Structure 1
Amino acid sequence: MAAQTQGRSKALLWSGAGVGVVGIGALIAVAVADLGTADQLASVIGAVLAAVGLGLTLWGQFGGATAPAPAPAAPAAPVVTASGTGSVAAGGNIGSVATGGGTSPAPGPAVPAPAPARPAPGSVTASGDRSVAAGGDIGSVSTGDA
């Protein structure tokens, strides 16, 4: 983006310089022919170029290319804590959890991964024996002896 803006600025600069050189040449040619006409013509051309310069200045200051938007801040990571015997806490999705001393539960359905832009949830806390907490989806949980 910066290279494109720089190229456009150079083109405008050279265009302005070219117009100035042509204008000076025209005024010299008219001055040689008739000094009175050259004076009047220079006044009109000067006023027109001043108005154009003011317009270009305002356009460059306020109406030109906009600044790029700042990148969005990364979401804060959730606070994940688990306390208690056999407790489980996860900041995202949980597919299958067994906190009891028996057999594992049958695996639950596959849980799709969250979209990357999904904001981080707040705190995730599992407190107490065999407690389960998740900041996302839970597929299957067994907290007792199955």
Structure 2
Amino acid sequence: MAAQTQGRSKAVLWSGVGVGVVGIGALIAVAVTDLGKADQLASVIGAVLAAVGLGLTLWGQFGGAAPPAPAPAPAAPVVTASGTGSVAAGGTIGSVATGSGTSPAPAPAPTAPTAPATPAPGSVTASGDRSVAAGGDIGSVSTGDA
């Protein structure tokens, strides 16, 4: 992409140099024959070149480059749970019970609104019987028959 932009810039530069050389040569040729005509021609050529320069400046500033590619989305964490009654979550866990027949008390309500926890970019793994793992906050957990 940079090589393409650099090549385009060089082409515009050399075309501008070429137009300038031809314009100067034409003005010198006309000035030798008729100075009044050269003055009028120089005014018209100057106005045209100023308009072209303004157009090239605006094109180079706003229209010459393609917009940047969007950043790739972050990879989702790998979440695995192995073992009897194990629990793994890529985000926040409110309440978990891994025992049989009982449930934990519900998680207390937050006192102030908080931003949701973002999962860690790594993996979340719960291995072993009644294990619990989370990529965010854990409100309440019961891992036994209490």
Cα distance 1:131–1:57, how it changes in 2: closer, same or farther (>3 A)? same
Post-superposition CA distance 1:17-73 (Å, at most 9, x none): 00100000000000000000000000000001001100110111111112422422x
Rounded Cα–Cα distance in structure 1 between residues aligned with 2:139 and 2:14: 66
Structure 1: runs of 5 or more not aligned: none
Moved more, 41-50 or 117-126: 117-126
Cα distance 1:14–1:105, how it changes in 2: closer, same or farther (>3 A)? same
Rounded Cα–Cα distance in structure 1 between residues aligned with 2:109 and 2:2: 46
Structure 2: runs of 5 or more not aligned: none
Work out the number of aligned pairs and report it.
145
Q: Is the 8 A contact 2:118 2:135 kept in 1?
A: no
Moved more, 36-45 or 125-134: 125-134
Rounded Cα–Cα distance in structure 2 between residues aligned with 1:42 and 1:24: 9
Cα distance 1:102–1:116, how it changes in 2: closer, same or farther (>3 A)? closer
Cα deviation for residue 110 of structure 1 reads 42
Rounded Cα–Cα distance in structure 2 between residues aligned with 1:106 and 1:30: 97
Percent identity for Structure 1 against Structure 2: 92
Rounded Cα–Cα distance in structure 1 between residues aligned with 2:11 and 2:112: 49
Runs of 4+ in 1 over 2 A off after TM superposition: 74-146
Q: Is the 8 A contact 2:88 2:126 kept in 1?
A: yes
Cα distance 1:106–1:8, how it changes in 2: closer, same or farther (>3 A)? farther
TM-score of the two chains, using structure 1 as the length reference: 0.56
Q: In the alignment, which residue of structure 2 is the partner of 1:76?
A: 75
